[in-house]
Amino acid sequence: MQKIYIKDLSQHVGQEVTLSGWLFNKRSGGKIKFLVLRDGSGYLQCVYFKGNVSEDVFNLADRIGQESSIEVTGKVKVEPRAPGGFELDAVNLHLISEAHDYPITPKDHGIEFLMDNRHLWLRSSKQVAIMKIRHRIVKAIRDFFDERGFTLMDPPILTPAVCEGTSTLFETEYFDLGKAYLTQSGQLYAEAGAMALGKVYTFGPTFRAEKSKTRRHLTEFWMVEPEVAFNDLNADMDLAEEFLEYIVQTILKEKQEELKVLERDTSILEKVVRPFPRISYDQAVEILKKNGVDFQYGNDLGATDETIISNQYDRPVMVHRYPTAVKAFYMKRDPENPDLALAVDVLAPEGCGEIIGGSQREDNYELLLERIKEHNLPQEAFEWYLDLRRFGSVPHAGFGLGLERTVGWICGLDHVRETIPFPRMIYRNTP
């Protein structure tokens, strides 16, 4: 027999079907029990009338606790008032595994308790909605690049050298070869890929031993990084803008139900259409000054600075040309002012902060070598990367989008810990 899922019940109206899943919650009247079944695809209210089922079944329906695994049998009815629009006129109940005292109940639990029970918390309706949206965002990301002629290229996770600055490396012993580091970014490898394939993207987990305990920081997060040969900073910003619009509009179109579960105000997301405002770092500093911030020119933007800047706009804002001194070694300097890097950060609305960081890369061999030395990086470890400038170097650019920050923004969550199944943070590596 083919297994039937709740999401497909519209094809079974009037039929007697058997479905399996877990007891999500339960209400009772004297002669009637309402069991809500969840099966991962949806929720279904199953109605057990005392007169319609055996006494054993009625007693079982009365006895079993939340999250017991069960099989229900009954006739599918259209019921516009029920969640999902259907109801089951139940005739049978089969117990697979009985549960009692499930720790997560409809009452309020503190966040630490929920995080300790993340393996169970994932079953809650809000968490299920977030995971489904995350999954759809991942698919939108892949579709976007695949449809535009990019090749997916998987970079290594164990790497011999730094990419984003030495302060946030996780290190491990690597046999007789000394230390290896968990990758902070696939970018340097993506650049090699762009020289081979023209347009590539990497997509995978990245690691930062960030000491930051904020609502935006994980120590393990997923990043997608496109890299395009012959793109300059403007083309990089065009790509970032088109990409974000595509992701947000796809989720709006296809994940309305989940956004409703999350009570997301979608009118804000509807405004995420091109063109996005583009301002320079200098203009951003002006905005901060006008808003009474005592900002030191030359510093990187902090989280509150980013919020003040993004609050000026109704869609993501792209801030470009940051001071070279606060940005990574591989960024090309602005030919019109070498104190500025051809960098861009995209700041999401609603105080979500930076979701994309990108740049045009230094493509000149001598200048790149100079930067490697200035940053006190070991030249031997970067010889292969310098080869990309020795043999047929071309202008190129790319960016990295943080998946969890993007999920958090689109879902309207105030912390990234709910955007990934099992978050890794400075004070948490369990469950």
Shortest distance, position 273 Cβ to ligand 4AD, whole Å:
21
Pick between residue 100 and residue 211 the one whose CB is nearest to ligand 4AD: 211
CB of 29 to ligand 4AD, least distance (A): 48
Task: Give the burial string for 329-338 (b: 16+ CB within 10 Å, else e).
Answer: bbbbbbeeee
Interaction partner, residue 218 (Mg ion, ligand 4AD, none; CB < 5-8 Å by kind): ligand 4AD
Please say which residue, 69 or 168, places its beta carbon nearer to Mg ion. Answer: 168
Which helix (H) or strand (E) segment is 96 a member of? strand 86-97
Tell me whether residue 208 or residue 389 sits nearer to ligand 4AD (CB atom).
Answer: 208
Q: Is 106 exposed, middle or buried (0-12, 13-18, 19+ CB in 10 A)?
A: exposed
Give the contacts of 218 (CB within 8 A, at least 6 positions apart): 210, 404, 416, 417, 420, 423, 424, 425
Does residue 193 belong to the site contacting Mg ion (CB under 5 A)?
Answer: no
8 A C-beta contact, residue 358 and residue 350 = no
Pairing assessment for the beta strands 43-49 and 32-38 based on DSSP bridges: antiparallel
Closest distance to Mg ion from the beta carbon of 8 (Å) = 43
User: Nearest distance from residue 206's CB to Mg ion, in Å?
Assistant: 12
Q: Among 21, 353, 357, 423, indicate the residue that binds Mg ion (CB under 5 A).
A: 357
Applying CB under 6 A, the residues found at the interface with ligand 4AD are 163-164, 185, 187, 208, 210, 217-218, 221, 223, 225, 354-359, 398-400, 402, 404-405, 416
Q: Is 358 in the site for Mg ion (CB under 5 A)?
A: no
Compare residues 44 and 416 and give the one whose CB is closer to ligand 4AD. 416
Note the Cα 277 to chain centre separation in Å.
23
Q: Which of 213, 211, 212, 190 is nearest to 201 (CA)?
A: 190
Least distance (Å) from Mg ion to the CB of residue 400? 8
Contact in structure between 47 and 57 (CB atoms under 8 Å): no
Determine the residue with CB nearest Mg ion: 357
CB nearer to ligand 4AD: pick between 42 and 358? 358
Cα first-last separation, the chain: 36
Shortest distance (Å) from residue 265 CB to ligand 4AD: 22
Q: Which does 400 bind (CB under 5 to 8 A by kind): Mg ion, ligand 4AD, none?
A: ligand 4AD
Choice between 233 and 416, CB closer to ligand 4AD: 416
Distance of closest approach, residue 326 Cβ to ligand 4AD, in angstroms: 11
Reference 91, options 123, 120, 50, 119; nearest CA is 50
Report d(CA 74, CA 94) in Å as an integer.
Answer: 12
Is residue 147 within a helix (H) or strand (E), and if so which, with residue range?
none
Q: Which residues bind Mg ion (CB under 5 A)?
A: 357
